[in-house]
Amino acid sequence: MDVRLDGRVALITGGSRGIGLAIAQEMAASGAGVMISSRKADALEAAVATLDGEGAWFAANAGEPAEAEACVAATMERFGRIDILVNNAATNPYMGKTIDIDRPRLDKTISVNWAGPLLWTQLAWQAWMQEHGGSVLNIASIGGLSVETSIGAYNATKAALLHLTRTLAAELAPGVRVNAIAPGLVKTDMARALWEPNEAAIAKMMPMARLGEPADIAHAAVFLASDQASWITGTTTVIDGGALLR
């Protein structure tokens, strides 16, 4: 299947590395204009240089409303439209039992992982999608479908994001489709503490006998944003190498 995004514009948060960058690269290669956003300008500049197509960047903290608004405005000024929004930015400032988390780190986790996607979707809706339609893709986690006591607060925000996906899919249909991807353990910098010390042992426990790569998520993201997925909304696509089968 030749999945194309010609003439579309994608705005991707957390787009300077890992899954976000892989999605940006795949969408650009499929013909979309791509705006990537994250906090650090130098990382964004380097990331845009890897895109095979039309790309731009804007530095913004995904959890800060004023910066999100400025990024959406910059995307409209640069490209004139926002057809695809990928809410990929996430944070996990706390490792440990949820019962012990302090309020500042809890607030930061909620702000970026749940309130952020809602905010960016509101802004994209107001700027373009309400009148012209579009596709929103939320990058969640299989942690939102399971229990891990070491990252329970993070997983709770991902569970909330999955519910938000279904809610917005119902509210914004039929013009805007809203879907989620729930990755398993993917070899990214953010997840390095989880996989790097025990990669071989973890892979042995996986039905597919390997950890995920960012490209595994990016391929699905392009499909879900494309016309080939025009009757898909409110769904969560689990891409975890079979981890939830264990």
- Residues taking part in catalysis: 154
Q: Cβ contacts of residue 194 below 8 Å, gap of 6+?
A: 185
With contact defined as beta carbons under 8 Å apart, do 27 and 84 qualify? Answer: yes
Which residue shows structure tokens 């925000």? 157
Residues paired with 212 in a beta bridge: 186
**AA letter at 189:** D
Q: By C-alpha distance, which of 86, 88, 231, 114 is closest to 173?
A: 231
Q: Report the distance separating Cα 245 and Cα 112, nearest Å.
A: 29
